[in-house]
Amino acid sequence: MFFVAINGSPNKDGNTVFLLKKGLEQLELMGAQTELIHTQEVLKSVKVPFCTVCSAICTGACLKGTLMEEVLQKLREADGLLIGSPVYFGTVSGQLKAFWDKLRCLRSEKKLLNVVGGAVAVGASRFGGQEGTLRAIHEMMLVQGMTIIGDGQKDNDCGHYGVAAQRPATEDQYAQQRMIIMAKRLFEVSQATQNLRL
């Protein structure tokens, strides 16, 4: 099993990454291979970091020879995704949105169809827009045909939308626990649905 975490924060060592790494560590304990992708870094590799819909059916031509092209291949191979973002004005970061918009070719290829996804959002306050951000991530995943999970799991409880954390994430013990629970669920559901992916 192969899982990719997508860091939608401009920071490579901030709160979002801290929680995504917690999830990846749990997945590795369960025997999975993992990779962490930083959207800010990937977007720097492309000439135009925002999708301009240069073709009606996206072929990914604008990504040839870039780090983004390499990332696309990793996403094509993924069994599950952990997608994280800080809360920016009640929704996802511009970096995550720009990165996701560049994945149009994966939609036409149906490469994320039935790939399992979980979301994490980090806000400055306990009720700082995390649920809206999680729902925005869910909507992005749904348009790709992904299977969405929350942060529940059979040995715990049914959970909610995903991991809603308050910064600093290093002090949010509850969010850290929910991340581990969601990683377990991600592994189990990805394993159970493996034959549904292209």
pLDDT tens readout for residues 39-67: 999 999 988 888 877 777 877 778 888 89
Task: Fold for 2-191, please state it.
Answer: Rossmann fold (3.40.50)
pLDDT tens readout for residues 132-143: 999 999 999 999
Burial code of 125-158, b = ≥16 C-beta within 10 A, e = fewer?
eeebbbbbbbbbbbebbeebebbbbbbbbeeeee
pTM attached to this predicted model: 0.96
User: How is the chain split into domains, by residue range?
Assistant: 2-191
Can you give the pLDDT at residue 49?
84
Quote the DSSP letter at residue 52: -
Contacts of 33 (CB under 8 A, 6+ apart): 1, 2, 3
